[in-house]
């Protein structure tokens, strides 16, 4: 008897997640409605422009922005992060760049690139749970600090950062410093109100919360000066030239609306699966440890270390068992690289190589968490 | 049965993967990421580059097998690249491909094969693995012009029992036909020639980057000890080297000695290069060790015809006495013993 084909369990929602029905419907409707370049001066262009500005207004409302103009649509999280860090540094007379050591590469490499052009880049250390403390940020901020960037939640461990407290401390030290936060992983699981947070620049990426890939936004507060990093057009008030991706933008905003409406239920359901995953796994193998267990974590994130099992090996065996998970961040060839986040948290390399990330999403089925954990336990047993 | 196929992105390993599928194996394809530039990216020129990995990935997709890039940068750097540079600094001529096979591919990757639940490790090498009455042997490839048994001599019984080399049974022409029949994108891809981590095209440039104190230089001497020229550092030279000596005396001269301590290069005529034998360390055998005093055929470089020699054990070393004097082999290179088509074992030439 042939055993049934293993069902596929996708537990890599932090990498990308399924398009929400509301986003898919908007995408299809926009494409079916006809084409139009939102920068033109005729009926077709006006329809596109209207759809674009409607999406901007709605997006501003959804994240508590002061005015629609504060929303700059981009191609995604990486571009938003680059525009925030590089754009605000270029617009400032100050030369100091302060970023946390656990940022996404889009922020880290923006900062290191600026360092090659005469800026002074400093990295804020992390504690052992991946928490960036406001005092540690404050230690590096001075009168010359142009921009501070600390993510809202980490993309590997799911650790939630005290960004409101950080913003307040930075503001008290230097009122002219632009404050940025990459909220790419955060938004799907935590409410976001930029006015209340007091953060100037906030990055979002559509495909991380059920919008299309290739669309994102950057919130830019009215008081923040920003130099564009792409040039050659007046779109997005000159801050991000290039023909507007109206259908993608509208679909992303539809997904944002869906996130806002269903976040409570999502957090509860994802939390149930995550907890079942961790409980099944740690009961089945008490040597397994949960990273950042003492810190506040996003409800859909689980980052675990399995002593004696290389993540690279585990992931290939899980792939064969139909369980799709991830470790660290993949380089351009697809090889699993030692994670700079875990290194910054003080984890030795050989321990970091035994860490795997499981992340749950809006379409995760009930029971997926425990199922994934059992497949991990099967693999551990086969390897020992 | 499950096979792990090491895919370089070349035609041989592409066809090896296809042949294992044909034989009914479940196949996983992997490329080893062995080397990266200071930016952490895979090299874009030379061999084993990002585009080679992309070729391997596309072939794997076409064959509908899972494919992964495995990170072996740390192991490869420690076991292959650093000893390569250190060997040259000490006046040796190391063979990094053999060290990679010995210390990475047929050790770390063989362990990984088991950890991934695979029964055999498959590569695209041109050589044959055979089994008779429970005894495994390593044999030259069907295509003598492509034979790579030399670089696989370190495989012992345990290794041979877990390694499969399906393209060793075919001529290179047939391998390419096979790839073309399957419509594989690598069918007409040229063979790689370079040392995979030397991306600039010249290993001497690479060495200069690895060995900060390599620059320097010293005298080029003749056999009488007279200074006949000047060189830019001994690490750029190998025993038997004829070109690039910067000395013109009207007839060919060869490097016959490298003096690292006093930074001298000694040159002489072809007959001055001849020697009666050499000693070999780190000997390994494909099966049982050969008997002391055996007469065997040996190859002292990758591209040379085997010559007869008597092997005598001398403590940890083995002394080989050639039937006829031979050009002095370069220390650091590998001596491989054959009995006709069959590899008996080999080791590293120390002198």
| Percent helix, percent strand, percent coil in chain B, to nearest 5 | 30, 30, 40
B72 vs B56: CA distance, rounded Å: 17
User: For residues A320, A322, A323 and A327, what is the CA-based torsion angle, rounded to 10 degrees?
Assistant: 40
Find the closest chain B residue to A334 by CA distance: B69
Q: Which of A329, A334, A353 is the best substitution to test chain B (most B C-beta atoms within 10 A)?
A: A334
pLDDT, residue B249, reads 74
Cβ-nearest to A336 among B42, B53, B71 = B71
Residues of B in contact with A313 (CB under 8 A): 112, 115-116
Residue B301 contacts A where some CB pair is shorter than 8 Å: no
Nearest CA of chain A to the CA of B115: how many Å? 6
Which residues lie across from A355 on neighbouring strands? Answer: A305
Closest by CA position to B121, among listed B163, B173, B79: B163
Please name the residues in contact with A244: beta carbons below 8 A apart, sequence gap of 6 or more. Answer: A37, A38, A39, A48, A52, A73, A235, A236
Let me know the angle formed at the C-alpha of B298 by B296 and B301, rounded to the nearest 5 degrees.
175
pLDDT, residue B262, reads 86
B331 vs B314: CA distance, rounded Å: 18
- Over its length of 351 residues, how does chain B's per-residue pLDDT go in tens digits? 999 999 999 999 999 999 999 999 999 999 998 877 655 666 665 555 778 888 999 999 999 999 999 989 889 999 999 999 888 888 888 899 999 999 999 999 999 999 999 999 999 999 999 999 999 999 999 999 999 999 999 999 999 999 999 999 999 999 999 999 999 989 988 887 667 777 666 777 777 777 776 667 888 988 888 898 888 888 778 898 888 777 777 788 899 998 888 889 999 999 999 999 999 999 999 999 999 999 999 999 888 899 999 999 999 999 999 999 999 999 999 999 999 999 999 999 998
A157 vs A102: CA distance, rounded Å: 10
* Structure tokens that stand for A48 in this block: 């596109």
pLDDT, residue A284, reads 97
Let me know the angle formed at the C-alpha of B218 by B212 and B224, rounded to the nearest 5 degrees.
150
pLDDT, residue B213, reads 67
CB A137 within 8 Å of CB A125: no
CB contacts < 8 A, A to B, total 43
Please name the residues in contact with B91: beta carbons below 8 A apart, sequence gap of 6 or more. Answer: B234, B235, B237, B258, B259, B260, B331
CB contact under 8 A, B31 and A383: no
CB A194 within 8 Å of CB A64: yes
pLDDT, residue A381, reads 94
User: For residues B185, B190, B193 and B194, what is the CA-based torsion angle, rounded to 10 degrees?
Assistant: -60
Residue B100 among the catalytic residues: yes
pLDDT, residue B285, reads 97
- Give CB contacts under 8 A, 24+ apart, made by A50-56: A51/A246, A51/A250, A52/A244, A52/A246, A52/A249, A52/A250, A54/A250, A55/A246, A55/A249, A55/A250, A55/A252, A55/A253, A56/A249
The angle, 0 to 180 degrees and rounded to 10, between the axes of the packed helices A368-383 and A246-284 is 50
Give the residue numbers of A annotated as catalytic, written as ranges. Answer: 331
> Can you tell me whether residue B121 is helix, strand or coil?
strand
A54 vs A68: CA distance, rounded Å: 9
pLDDT, residue A347, reads 95
Cβ-nearest to B115 among A332, A334, A383 = A383
Residues of A in contact with B112 (CB under 8 A): 313
Residues on A contacting B at a C-beta cutoff of 8 Å = 310, 312-313, 316-317, 319-320, 331-337, 382-383
Closest by CA position to B86, among listed B195, B198, B194, B214: B214
Residues in chain A, pLDDT under 50: 5
B309 vs B296: CA distance, rounded Å: 6
CB A218 within 8 Å of CB A172: no
B172 vs B143: CA distance, rounded Å: 7
According to DSSP, the β-strands at A301-305 and A323-324 are: unpaired
Q: Phi then psi for A82, rounded to 5 degrees?
A: -60, -45
B150 vs B337: CA distance, rounded Å: 9
pTM, rounded to two decimals: 0.88
Query: Cα–chain-centroid distance for residue A121?
Result: 22
**How many of the other CB atoms lie within 10 Å of CB of A250?**
25
Closest by CA position to B31, among listed B20, B18, B19, B17: B17
Cα torsion B147, B151, B152, B156: sign: positive
Catalytic choice (B47, B48, B100, B278)? B100
B326 vs B319: CA distance, rounded Å: 14
CB A151 within 8 Å of CB A103: yes
* Structure tokens that stand for A348 in this block: 């030795």
State the residue for tokens 């695979």: B118
A176 vs A234: CA distance, rounded Å: 26
Residue B40 contacts A where some CB pair is shorter than 8 Å: yes
Residue B108 contacts A where some CB pair is shorter than 8 Å: no
CB contact under 8 A, A320 and B33: no
pLDDT, residue A5, reads 46
CB contact under 8 A, A333 and B112: no
């Amino acid at each position: 008897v042939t055993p049934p084909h293993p069902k596929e369990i996708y537990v890599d929602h932090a990498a990308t997640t399924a398009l929400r029905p509301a986003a898919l419907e908007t995408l299809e409707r926009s494409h079916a409605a006809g084409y139009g370049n939102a920068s033109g001066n005729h009926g077709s262009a006006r329809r596109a422009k209207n759809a674009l500005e409607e999406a901007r207004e709605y997006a501003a409302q959804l994240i508590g922005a002061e005015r629609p103009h504060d929303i700059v649509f981009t191609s995604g999280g990486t571009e938003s992060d680059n525009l925030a860090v590089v754009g605000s540094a270029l617009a400032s007379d100050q030369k100091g760049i302060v970023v946390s050591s656990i940022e996404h590469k889009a922020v880290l490499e923006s900062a290191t690139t600026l360092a090659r052009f005469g800026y002074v880049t400093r990295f804020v250390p992390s504690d052992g749970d991946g928490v960036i403390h406001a005092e540690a940020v404050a230690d590096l901020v001075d009168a010359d600090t142009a921009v501070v960037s600390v993510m809202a939640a980490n993309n590997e461990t799911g650790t939630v950062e005290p960004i409101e407290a950080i913003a307040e401390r930075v503001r008290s030290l230097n009122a002219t410093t632009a404050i940025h936060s990459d909220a790419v992983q955060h938004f799907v699981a935590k409410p976001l109100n930029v006015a209340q947070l007091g953060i100037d620049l906030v990055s979002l990426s559509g495909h991380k919360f059920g919008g299309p890939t290739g669309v994102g936004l950057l919130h830019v507060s009215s008081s923040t000066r920003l130099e564009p990093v792409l040039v050659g057009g007046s779109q997005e008030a000159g801050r991000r030239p290039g023909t507007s991706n109206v259908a993608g933008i509208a679909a992303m905003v539809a997904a944002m609306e869906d996130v806002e409406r269903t976040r409570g239920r999502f957090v509860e359901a994802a939390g149930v699966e995550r907890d079942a995953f961790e409980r099944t796994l740690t009961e089945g193998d008490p040597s397994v440890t949960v990273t950042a267990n003492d810190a506040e974590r996003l409800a859909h994130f689980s980052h675990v270390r399995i002593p004696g099992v290389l993540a690279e090996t585990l992931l290939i065996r899980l792939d064969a068992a139909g369980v799709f998970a991830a470790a660290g961040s993949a380089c351009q060839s697809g090889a699993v690289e030692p994670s700079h986040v875990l290194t910054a948290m003080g984890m030795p390399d050989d321990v970091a190589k035994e860490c795997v990330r499981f992340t749950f999403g809006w379409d995760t089925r009930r029971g997926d968490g425990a199922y994934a954990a059992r497949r991990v336990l099967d693999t551990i047993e086969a390897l020992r | 049965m499950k096979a792990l196929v090491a895919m370089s992105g070349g035609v041989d390993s592409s066809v090896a993967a296809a042949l294992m599928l044909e034989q009914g194996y479940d196949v996983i394809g992997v490329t080893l990421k062995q080397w990266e530039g200071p930016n952490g990216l895979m090299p874009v020129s030379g061999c084993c580059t990002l585009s080679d990995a992309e070729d391997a990935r596309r072939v794997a997709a076409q064959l509908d097998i899972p494919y992964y890039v495995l990170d072996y940068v740390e192991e490869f750097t420690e076991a292959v690249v650093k000893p390569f540079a250190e060997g040259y600094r000490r006046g040796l001529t190391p063979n990094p491909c053999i060290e990679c096979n010995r210390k990475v591919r047929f050790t770390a990757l063989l362990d990984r094969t088991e950890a991934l639940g695979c029964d055999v490790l498959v590569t695209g090498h041109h050589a044959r693995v055979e089994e008779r009455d429970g005894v495994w042997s390593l044999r030259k490839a069907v295509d003598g012009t492509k034979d790579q048994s030399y670089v696989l001599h370190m495989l012992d019984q345990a290794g041979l029992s877990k390694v499969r080399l399906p393209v060793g049974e075919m001529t290179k022409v047939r391998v390419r036909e096979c790839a073309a029949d399957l419509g594989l994108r690598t069918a007409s891809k040229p063979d790689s020639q370079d040392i995979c981590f030397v991306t600039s095209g010249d290993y001497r440039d690479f060495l200069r980057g690895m060995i900060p104190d390599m620059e320097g230089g010293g005298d080029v001497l003749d056999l009488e000890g007279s200074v006949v020229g000047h060189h830019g550092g001994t690490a750029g030279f190998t025993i038997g080297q004829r070109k690039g000596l910067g000395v013109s005396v009207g007839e060919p001269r060869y490097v016959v000695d490298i003096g690292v301590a006093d930074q001298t290069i000694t040159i002489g005529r072809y007959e001055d290069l001849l020697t009666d034998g050499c000693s070999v360390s780190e000997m390994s055998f494909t099966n049982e060790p050969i008997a002391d005093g055996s007469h065997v055929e040996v190859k002292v470089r990758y591209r040379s015809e085997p010559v007869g020699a008597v092997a005598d054990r001398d403590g940890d070393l083995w002394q080989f006495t050639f039937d006829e004097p031979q050009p002095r082999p370069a220390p650091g290179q590998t001596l491989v013993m054959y009995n006709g088509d069959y590899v008996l074992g080999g080791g590293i030439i120390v002198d």
